[in-house]
């Protein structure tokens, strides 16, 4: 019988305030620079699937028993990237489950087309504001199929490293240093320990830095309260800005949607519902399209809490509920990674961080302008002082980089 070797897969997703370049000092394998992708219907199909996957995964995470009344925040596009990269080495039913779970129609898309689409996606999201990539750490005694590694390098911009997983502390330190370097120290303990049977560690990361087009004046930030629920209130530092903002009120789901653009092609959408369960049960990509299309600019008094949160998830049960079960057990078929070895995924780990404050602009642009002549008019107030949802997306493509729910800004 073949020895069962567990393949550990980790997904790392972070929202930060600065870019720091760096790599661990180990043997490194790079692919050639990606050529300009050929855009066709497969890119559109994958983009559509990714958007729908974002809300399906959000629903699955938010409905977990241990997620009730907690903050939810993650990067769906990076989860898609990591699982699509894993699908390169999957075969049979395991491959079909990954495709179905990600929302890919196998009658319209094959693996090569999915690879091409993600190559285009990763290139498109590379900008001054965002960077994204993957890495694979391979045990020095394990030999993956060269075709598998080459596809990861060419289509998923994968950095390759060789480590000795028998030296669990050293290999964990190597992975943690890579992640820390890519995330400016926001995620510094991605790996606590590694089983000696680990032969490969695959991770995906995303970095985002946005500067508000309309920054908040720090002098306008005051202490206020946030209503977690009917019985719980917590103190917050509440930022304030009075200016023209794009806002849409969705009557169908009784939700106010605020559009805060960054000085780039990216934006943040903040959704303040009358009832969170109604919003969570209905929201989908079609809502985002509608909101962006019909938003109108109007003078508003905006109040938004200043906060920093971190989240951590073990996604095995969630992904299993979404139909991706075989890769975690004896029925796993990952023979595309290495022939003659029985591989399986032991866990999928996800960590994320979100910081919101008044910064994100130069000192000159950071000064808020209040038009005193307007102070005599009644200005509507939009105050995010109770649970709300948040999206960070590309305005042009509506690709969702991050999605979450802020239940308590102090956690």
Predicted local confidence at residue 389, as pLDDT: 92
Cα 259 to Cα 36, 59, 369: the distances in Å are: 32, 22, 19
Mean pLDDT on 188-216? 83
Give how far the C-alpha of residue 34 lies from the chain's centroid of Cα atoms, to the nearest Å: 23
Cα 256 to Cα 105, 130, 194, 272, 388: the distances in Å are: 34, 27, 45, 5, 10
Angle value at C-alpha 155, between 151 and 160, nearest 5 degrees: 65
Predicted local confidence at residue 181, as pLDDT: 85
pLDDT band at 407 (very low <50, low <70, confident <90, very high): very high
Mean pLDDT on 90-104? 95
**Same fold flag, 4-210+309-354 and 218-306+360-406:** no
Mean pLDDT on 230-256? 93
Domain boundaries, the chain: 4-210+309-354, 218-306+360-406
Predicted local confidence at residue 363, as pLDDT: 18
Nearest to 244 by CA among 196, 285, 299, 191: 299
Mean pLDDT on 228-251? 93
- Cα maximum dimension of the chain: 82
Higher pLDDT, 406 or 32: 406
Predicted local confidence at residue 379, as pLDDT: 65
User: pLDDT tens for residues 48-63?
Assistant: 999 999 999 999 999 9
Place of tokens 């898309």: 109
218-306+360-406: CATH superfamily: Alpha-1-antitrypsin, domain 1 (2.30.39.10)
Mean pLDDT on 121-143? 81
Mean pLDDT on 311-334? 90
Predicted local confidence at residue 40, as pLDDT: 65
Predicted local confidence at residue 127, as pLDDT: 63
pLDDT at 163 over 70: yes
pLDDT at 21 over 60: no
Q: How far apart are CA 93 and CA 325, in angstroms?
A: 10
State percent of the chain over pLDDT 90: 45
* Distance from the first to the final alpha carbon of the chain: 48
Higher pLDDT, 377 or 159: 159
Predicted local confidence at residue 125, as pLDDT: 63
Tokens found for residue 230: 């009917």
Predicted local confidence at residue 147, as pLDDT: 95
pLDDT at 5 over 60: no
Higher pLDDT, 195 or 160: 160
Higher pLDDT, 98 or 21: 98
4-210+309-354: CATH superfamily: Antithrombin, subunit I, domain 2 (3.30.497.10)
What is the full DSSP assignment across 363-397?
TTTTS----GGGGGS---EEE--S-EEEEEEETTT
User: pLDDT tens for residues 264-314?
Assistant: 888 999 999 999 999 999 999 999 999 999 999 999 999 999 888 888 888
Crossing angle of helices 76-87 and 41-62, in 10° steps, is 120
Specify the pairing of strand 232-250 against strand 296-314.
antiparallel
Specify the pairing of strand 130-139 against strand 72-74.
unpaired
Cβ–Cβ under 8 Å, residues 7 and 316: no
Cβ–Cβ under 8 Å, residues 85 and 152: yes
Predicted local confidence at residue 366, as pLDDT: 15
Give how far the C-alpha of residue 401 lies from the chain's centroid of Cα atoms, to the nearest Å: 5
Nearest to 302 by CA among 361, 395, 230, 217: 217
Place of tokens 């800005």: 241
pLDDT band at 64 (very low <50, low <70, confident <90, very high): confident
């Amino acid at each position: 019988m073949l020895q069962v070797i567990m393949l550990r897969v980790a997904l790392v997703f972070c929202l930060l305030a600065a870019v720091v370049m760096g790599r661990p000092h180990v043997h490194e394998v790079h692919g050639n620079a990606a050529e300009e992708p050929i855009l066709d219907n497969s890119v559109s199909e994958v983009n559509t699937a990714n958007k729908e996957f974002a809300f399906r995964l959000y629903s699955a995470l938010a409905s977990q028993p241990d997620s009730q009344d907690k903050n939810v925040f993650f990067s769906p596009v990076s989860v898609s990237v990591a699982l699509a990269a894993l699908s390169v080495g999957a075969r049979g039913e395991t491959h079909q489950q990954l495709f179905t779970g990600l929302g890919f129609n196998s009658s319209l898309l094959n693996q090569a087309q999915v690879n091409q689409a993600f190559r285009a996606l990763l290139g498109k999201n590379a900008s001054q504001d965002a960077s994204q990539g993957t890495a694979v750490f391979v045990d020095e005694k394990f030999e993956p199929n060269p075709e598998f590694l080459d596809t990861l390098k060419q289509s998923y911009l994968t950095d390759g490293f060789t480590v000795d997983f028998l030296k669990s502390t050293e290999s964990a330190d190597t992975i943690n240093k890579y992640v820390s370097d890519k995330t400016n120290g926001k995620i510094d303990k991605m790996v606590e320990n590694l089983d000696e049977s680990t032969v490969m560690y695959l991770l995906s990361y995303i970095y985002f830095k946005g500067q508000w087009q309309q920054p908040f004046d720090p002098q306008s930030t005051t202490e206020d309260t946030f209503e977690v629920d009917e019985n719980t209130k917590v103190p917050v530092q509440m930022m304030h800005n009075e200016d023209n903002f794009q806002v849409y009120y969705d009557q169908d789901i009784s939700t106010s949607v605020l559009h805060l653009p960054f000085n780039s092609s990216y934006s943040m959408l903040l959704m303040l519902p009358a009832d969170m369960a109604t919003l969570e049960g209905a929201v989908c990509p079609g809502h985002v399209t509608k909101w962006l299309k019909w938003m109108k600019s109007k003078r508003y008094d905006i109040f938004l809490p200043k906060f920093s949160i971190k989240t951590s998830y073990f996604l095995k049960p969630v992904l299993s509920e979404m139909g991706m079960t075989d890769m975690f057990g004896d029925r796993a078929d990952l023979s595309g990674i290495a022939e003659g070895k029985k591989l399986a995924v032991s866990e999928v780990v996800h960590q994320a961080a979100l910081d919101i404050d008044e910064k994100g602009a130069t000192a000159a642009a950071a000064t808020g302008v209040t038009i005193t002549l307007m102070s005599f008019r009644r200005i509507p107030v939009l105050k995010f002082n109770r649970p709300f949802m948040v999206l960070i997306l590309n305005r042009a493509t509506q690709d969702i980089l991050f999605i979450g729910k802020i239940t308590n800004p102090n956690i």
